Amino acid sequence: MKKQKLVMIGNGMAGCRTLEELLKLAPDMYDITVFGAEPHPNYNRILLSPVLAGEMTLQDIVLNDLDWYAANGITLHAGRKVTKIDRVKRKVIAADGTEAEYDRLLLATGSMPFILPVPGKDLPGVIAYRDIADTEAMIEAAKHHSHAVVVGAGLLGLEAANGLRLRGMDVTVVHLGDWIMERQLDKPAADLLMKSLEAKGLKFALGKQTAELVKGESGRVAAVKFKDGGSIPADLVVMAVGIRPNVELAEKSGIHCERGIVVNDTLQTYDPKVYAVGECAAHRGTAYGLVAPLFEQAKVCANHLAHFGIGRYQGSVTSTKLKVTGIDVFSAGNFMGGEGTDEVVLNDPAGGVYKKLVLQGNQLIGAVLYGDTADGAWYFQLLKDKQCVKDIRDHLMFGQNHVGDVGHAGQSKAAAMPDEAEVCGCNGVCKGTIVKAIKEHGLFTIDDVRKHTKASSSCGSCTGLVEQILASTVGGAYQPAESKDKPVCGCTERSHGEVRAAIREHKLLTIPAVMEFMEWKTPNGCASCRPALNYYLISTWPHEAKDDPQSRFINERAHANIQKDGTYSVVPRMWGGLTTPAELRVIAEVAEKYEVPTVKMTGGARIDLLGIAKEKLPLVWADLGAAGLVSGHAYGKSIRTVKTCVGAEHCRFGTQRSMDMGVKLEKMLFGMWSPHKVKLAVSGCPRNCAEAGIKDVGVIGVDSGYELYVAGNGGIKTEVAEFLCKVKNDEDVMEVSGAFLQLYREEGFYLERTCHYVARVGLDHVKKRVVEDAENRKALYERLLFALQDYEDPWQAAVRKPAVRREYEIIEVTA
Amino acid sequence: MNDRTEWKKVCELEDIPRLGSRVVKSAAGMIAVFRTAEDEVFALHDKCPHRGGPLSQGMVHGKTVTCPMHGMKLGLDTGEAVAPDKGCAKAFEVKVDGGCVMLLLKAGA
């Protein structure tokens, strides 16, 4: 098939991101031609401010160098401005006569700075702040002149003023409004910001309207005159009063424009062959001026250009961060509040900290932070996800650490961390390495940072910290992923929720069927999505969907835990933590016979035999099985252990027979696969020696029955289990615990522990289905028992079946 | 010095599960032999260039294997790590002949 022709007008961040996304999806689909009015390859416009401030150089901010265009076969016409689109003949014509035909056209013309229509606006020394040329003009002016006036105290204006001040100019910021950055900040935050900018040497003239720019003797601008009569000297005037989507070309070509070029949810204009992304586009009446939404648009647009056609852009919530070194400001959403909203405010003017959170019902809808913005990313995530904050409302203001991240308490101020401070404790990655990778490779997402540095790619407990570093390094370009609708992995655009629903509603029974139905982009997935799909299939359609060993992580495939040297560990099950002399004797014999180098008690009260070669596993299992020992599933996303205290059987304080209860629970749950590992504990009295407060299901015996707790976690981030309900007897413990675990099995996303699952759906949701609705509880319980019936010990299955056993054997090739 | 090589029979194709692998012990060390969904076979030194994980125990998808230890992805045909990771596991020549999987190894070894 002949390649189609794609022409892009505008060589900026939104457009180039679209091309990058497109090349990932369909590298050979189009012959691509790019026209850019500026004589540069694509650079990071957001970082012009650090360049002006002298903190970075122009070379540092190039995102796609000329080699990138060449390597991807893209024809680049840099410095050539397109002046005409002939939609009938489907071609574009540049000012110098260069022409290019298109099958699809992508408009990414960005925006134009708004220039106040006042006398003198065209004088030398009057500029906007938009591109490299403007930045260079400012740097040049700072060398020869001393008085600068910045008109407009928005984000851009303040960054320009700060940069000019750092370059030695005397800078006054003129602003029409009563406080600075009024589109991003409320007055108290703005006042604090102004105070610290004044301390840096900036001057402000608020409530002033510019009437005229006065020409000096040299012909250059010399002063700014205000409507109220006053005036101030100015050798350089920077207009930063706003931007307008650049729609001139589109309008001239008869494409429907309002505030911007009007696009639908697939970023197509009224001419379906013509797309528009970025600042020039108006989607549902909004033209975005920050980079994060543009990247979301780019993704959807690329998706559509590649004929995938499943992505939709539905608008963005934006956040703002000011890039002035040493000053931390963050704002997002509806920060002014109003009717029907509540405000939580922390105001410490002397300490230079101001925080305001705006809530509506049980949702966070806006935030302004000044002085301490460490939790900005977290608030933004809560806001975007529309998460219910009812349960954390009383300490929401104190930030994420206060909600219980024990792993990194006191280490939340990413910006203040020294470069050599270790961020990722699993992979030994320090802050400097992360910042360097972000700058050198132009990274914008947490996934990119993971790929390049390995930071936060193992246990994930430092994810928040890495996000903060990313946010403070790239500023407004940082957009946290939507945690709810996040795609399963790079193989698909579908989220876990969508995949689960499709498997259930369309009765999909195999991984290939799911991949075909949901339009997977890769032939057989990857190591992230296949285990998830396999779990969703066998948990949704037990006894019907077939388990696929090749889609399980090695531990679940080999029914043992792989260790760093490639050997395995074997943990026989000890129901409720109980064992017998006979079992111990067999374990001891096996340990000697197979020369097991390490024998250890696990955290779940059983014995671990470490250092067994894979080919020996079936032999070890055969010996253990002869004494009735079965797999402890210490390797699985499955039921692990039920830890017990000795309880009323022996303990003088015991109120319930906890060992007995624990054994019954563990026998019931044997062979239960789940989104992540599941651990239970049963204590015989409120002294709670079995530590039931940090288990997925914790049972605590009391004189009148049992208290049930769920969604605790003792791992990466300690979570105290929440009280679910109180029950009278052993049968009720089995039914309620079983129903809760089945609900988790049916609704949980793969690799989501119960604590994350309950945090996502809310404890009320769980209580409604498991505690209040008796009929539903029984149905859940029965579905669990049905799924678990006839489960065979996987160790004995491997011992018995030659075909399975063979996979443990090594093939020897000799001469 | 003997540089002669010869094809040596390893196993039947059916002995390797689709999207799975088998481990072969040879004079050249441990070799992981993989089978893709399309029944193509590939062979790599069974040692991840990252921290020495056994690639044979990884998950196969497309023409790639993900190491079970820390998730590094390697191309099955070249043994090269998928960017941005760097590293390479030695690739061996392997073919299927009449249902038999054959490895090209040093003669007499």
> Residue A380 corresponds to which tokens in the numbers above?
């933004």
ipTM over 0.90: yes
The band of A1, judged by pLDDT with boundaries at 50, 70 and 90, is low
Residue with the two structure tokens 């008690």: A601
Residue A205 has pLDDT above 90, yes or no: yes
A754-761 and A730-747 helices cross at what angle (nearest 10)? 80
- Cross-strand pairs, A257: A261
The band of A475, judged by pLDDT with boundaries at 50, 70 and 90, is low
Which phi and psi angles does A669 have, rounded to 5°? -95, 0
Considering only CB atoms, B84 lies closest to which of A452, A457, A554, namely A452
Gap between the Cα atoms of A707 and A697, Å rounded: 11
In this prediction, residue A425 carries a pLDDT of 78
| Collapsed DSSP state (helix, strand, coil) of residue A587 | helix
Specify if B28 maps to a domain.
Answer: yes
Residue A211 has pLDDT above 50, yes or no: yes
What share of chain A has pLDDT > 70, as a percent?
96
Find the mean pLDDT for residues A298-306: 92
Residue A702 has pLDDT above 80, yes or no: yes
Find the mean pLDDT for residues A13-31: 91
Gap between the Cα atoms of B102 and B109, Å rounded: 15
Residue A413 has pLDDT above 70, yes or no: no
In this prediction, residue B2 carries a pLDDT of 60
Whether residue B57 and residue A526 make contact (CB cut-off 8 A), yes or no, is: no
Gap between the Cα atoms of B74 and B63, Å rounded: 9
In this prediction, residue A70 carries a pLDDT of 93
The band of A627, judged by pLDDT with boundaries at 50, 70 and 90, is very high
Specify if B95 maps to a domain.
Answer: yes
Lowest mean pLDDT, pick from A480-494, A512-526, B27-41: A480-494
The band of A404, judged by pLDDT with boundaries at 50, 70 and 90, is very low
Residue A800 has pLDDT above 80, yes or no: yes
**Nearest to B21, CA basis, from B52, B66, B88:** B66
The band of A804, judged by pLDDT with boundaries at 50, 70 and 90, is confident
Whether residue B19 and residue A527 make contact (CB cut-off 8 A), yes or no, is: no
Q: Report in angstroms the alpha-carbon separations of A180 from A164, A476, A698, A788.
A: 18, 18, 53, 64
Residue A164 has pLDDT above 90, yes or no: yes
Specify if B59 maps to a domain.
Answer: yes
First to last CA, chain B: 12
Find the mean pLDDT for residues A231-254: 94
Q: Where on the phi/psi map is residue A539: left (φ > 0), alpha (ψ -120 to 50), or beta?
A: alpha
Which of A383-392, A474-483, A549-558 has the highest mean predicted lDDT (pLDDT)? Answer: A549-558
| Collapsed DSSP state (helix, strand, coil) of residue A159 | helix
In this prediction, residue B99 carries a pLDDT of 93
Specify if B109 maps to a domain.
Answer: no
Gap between the Cα atoms of A682 and A700, Å rounded: 6
Specify if B14 maps to a domain.
Answer: yes
Residue A586 has pLDDT above 50, yes or no: yes
Give the best residue of A554, A557, A805, A814 to mutate against chain B (max B CB count within 10 A).
Answer: A554
Whether residue B61 and residue A452 make contact (CB cut-off 8 A), yes or no, is: no
The band of A583, judged by pLDDT with boundaries at 50, 70 and 90, is very high
Which phi and psi angles does A302 have, rounded to 5°? -60, -40
Find the mean pLDDT for residues A165-170: 94
Find the mean pLDDT for residues A195-217: 93
Q: Report in angstroms the alpha-carbon separations of A747 from A399, A641, A722, A760, B35.
A: 28, 22, 19, 10, 34
Residue A639 has pLDDT above 80, yes or no: yes
Gap between the Cα atoms of A76 and A60, Å rounded: 21
Considering only CB atoms, B61 lies closest to which of A530, A807, A811, namely A530
Sheet holding A607-612, edge to edge: A561-562, A568-570, A607-612, A598-601
Instruction: Detail the DSSP E strand segments found in A90-200.
Output: 91-94, 99-101, 104-107, 111-113, 126-128, 147-151, 170-175
The band of A477, judged by pLDDT with boundaries at 50, 70 and 90, is low
Whether residue B58 and residue A524 make contact (CB cut-off 8 A), yes or no, is: no
How far off is chain A from B57, nearest CA to CA, in Å? 6
Using omega within 30 degrees of 0 as the cis cutoff, is the peptide bond preceding A581 cis? Answer: no
A589-602 pLDDT, tens digit per residue, is 999 999 999 999 99
Find the mean pLDDT for residues B48-69: 95
Q: Which residues, at least 6 apart from A2, have a Cβ–Cβ distance to it below 8 Å? A: none
| Collapsed DSSP state (helix, strand, coil) of residue A547 | coil
In this prediction, residue A407 carries a pLDDT of 40
Read out DSSP for A171-225? EEEEESSSSTTTTT--HHHHHHHHHHHHHTT-EEEET--EEEEEE-TTSSEEEEE
**Residue ranges of B 54-73 with Cβ closer than 8 A to chain A:** 54, 57-62, 64, 66, 68-71, 73
Residue B109 has pLDDT above 70, yes or no: no
How far off is chain A from B32, nearest CA to CA, in Å? 10
Gap between the Cα atoms of A239 and A349, Å rounded: 31
- What is the domain count for chain B? 1
Amino acid at A578: L
A524: which chain B residues are within 8 Å (Cβ-Cβ)?
19, 37, 61-62
Residue with the two structure tokens 């020409």: A215
The band of A87, judged by pLDDT with boundaries at 50, 70 and 90, is very high
Whether residue B10 and residue A811 make contact (CB cut-off 8 A), yes or no, is: yes
Whether residue A526 and residue B103 make contact (CB cut-off 8 A), yes or no, is: no
Residue A326 has pLDDT above 80, yes or no: no
In this prediction, residue A526 carries a pLDDT of 95
Residue A799 has pLDDT above 70, yes or no: yes
In this prediction, residue A410 carries a pLDDT of 39
**Which chain A residues touch B if contact means CB-CB below 8 Å?**
441, 451-452, 454, 457-458, 522-527, 530-531, 549-551, 553-554, 557-558, 562, 564, 566, 614, 806-807, 810-813, 815
Gap between the Cα atoms of A764 and A768, Å rounded: 6
Q: How far from the centroid of its chain's Cα atoms is residue B56's Cα? A: 7
In this prediction, residue A374 carries a pLDDT of 76
The band of B20, judged by pLDDT with boundaries at 50, 70 and 90, is very high
> Residue A499 corresponds to which tokens in the numbers above?
């995949």
Say if CB A107 and CB A250 are below 8 A apart.
yes
The band of A406, judged by pLDDT with boundaries at 50, 70 and 90, is very low
The band of A409, judged by pLDDT with boundaries at 50, 70 and 90, is very low
Enclosing H/E stretch for A291:
helix A291-305
**Can you say whether the dihedral through the CA atoms of A790, A793, A798, A801 is positive or negative?**
negative
Domain CATH number, residue B44: 2.102.10.10
How many CB pairs lie under 8 A apart between chains A and B? 88
Find the mean pLDDT for residues A64-85: 94
The band of A447, judged by pLDDT with boundaries at 50, 70 and 90, is confident
Domain span at residue B19 reads 5-104
**Nearest to A271, CA basis, from A259, A285, A257, A284:** A257
**Nearest to B56, CA basis, from A340, A491, B47:** B47
Say if CB B91 and CB B43 are below 8 A apart.
yes
